[in-house]
Amino acid sequence: MPSIFKALASITVWVLFIFGFLALLAAFIRIIGAGTGVSEPPELGLMTAYFGYGVSSLFLSVVTMKLRKMLE
C-alpha cells in the first residue's frame, strides 16, 4: 500500500480521537457546571448527543487504528 493511505488513516485517527475527547469533556463540564449552580441544567437530549458522539468517535478512532495496522 502507498504510504499516503497510512498517513490519511493516522490523521483520521487523531481527528476522531480529539473530537471524541472534546465532546466528552464538554459534556462533563456542562454536568459539573449544572451541579455546582454555575449554569442551568442541560437538556437530556443534548447530553445524550454529547456522550453518544464522544463515545462513538473514540470507538471509531480505535477501529481506524486497527485498520491502519492492517495496512502495514
Q: How many domains does the chain divide into? A: 1
Residue appearing with cell numbers 445524550: 48
pLDDT (tens place) for every residue of the chain, 72 residues total: 678 888 898 999 999 999 999 999 998 888 888 878 777 777 888 888 889 999 999 999 999 999 888 877
Domain that holds residue 51: 3-71
The pTM of the whole model exceeds 0.85: no
Buried b (16+ CB within 10 A) or exposed e, 17-44: bebbeebbeebeebbeeeeeeeeeeeee
